[in-house]
Structure 1
Amino acid sequence: MRVRSPALLMLVVGLSMAGCAKNVDTRVAGDDDAAIDGAAARLEELRARAARDTATCEDRCDVATRTCDVAEQLCTLVDRHPDRDDLPPRCARGREQCSDARSGCSSCQNG
């Protein structure tokens, strides 16, 4: 059978294209990667702040609280991607930094 009208041909082609399934990537790994990198950068800033010789005890304890909060945020993001071997060490480093920061706060409070 022969199509008689170009308009009918365009309609058939348009309908067939509209009916095709679209593959949309719904993963948000890129967003999580950016958030993980951001948390790691905040941890590095906090590490530098804690390393200052002029930091008061109050500053050290504030840094410890913030460090632990950011480390837990980082680990929550890491836990979303159990298939990635590169992320758990970042969580472990964050938790270690939290522990070190808490020790610095405790030692300054105790004397």
Structure 2
Amino acid sequence: MRVASLALLTLTLMGCPKQVETRVAGADDDQLTTYEARLEELRSRGSAGDLSCPDQCTLSTQTCGVAEDLCGVVDRHPDRADLPQRCARARESCAETTDGCTRCRTR
């Protein structure tokens, strides 16, 4: 009887194991949103029009780095049709800032 009571008490204290939801897709969605916000911030800085050539090239490097990070997240989800266009937009931002850097260097 005592063993049964001890077993029941142990089960009661331990409870049932809880199922923990792993939000990998949710975490990646959050990361994509963060990257897109950063790209928007960089676009805004670039559209001010008063950047020096070194600043434009730094902006380009930063933009392309964020774009590649974003596309890396997209690559982890080949089954999601909503993501490739987000990568394409990010790479377009990279190309635009790279063009700005190249233009200022050839002046």
**For this structure pair, what is the TM-score category when the shorter chain's length is used for normalisation?**
0.7 to 0.9
Say whether residues 1:73 and 2:69 are aligned partners.
Answer: yes
TM-score under structure 1 length normalisation = 0.80
1:35 to 31, 36, 50: 31
Q: CA deviation at 1:63?
A: 0.3
User: % of aligned pairs identical?
Assistant: 49
Answering whether residue 54 of structure 2 is matched by residue 58 of structure 1, we say: yes
The structure with the greater share of residues assigned to helix is 2
Aligned to 2:99: 103
Divergent runs of 4+, >6 A:
18-21
Counterpart-to-counterpart distance in 1, 2:17 and 2:77: 28
What TM-score comes out, normalization by structure 2 length? 0.82
RMSD of aligned Cα (Å):
2.7
Cα separation, 1, equivalents of 2:20 and 2:78: 22
Letter in 2 for 1:106: T
SS of equivalent residue, structure 1 residue 37: helix
Which has the larger Rg? 1
Secondary structure of the residue that 1:85 maps to in structure 2? coil
Amino acid corresponding to residue 56 of structure 1 in structure 2? S
SS in 2 for 1:53: coil
Aligned length: 107
Q: Render the CA deviation track for 1:2-60: whole Å, top value 9, x for unaligned.
A: xxx7x947945974xx7967543334111111111000000000011111121111111
34-43 or 21-30: bigger deviation:
21-30
> Which ranges in structure 2 are unaligned for 5 or more consecutive residues?
none
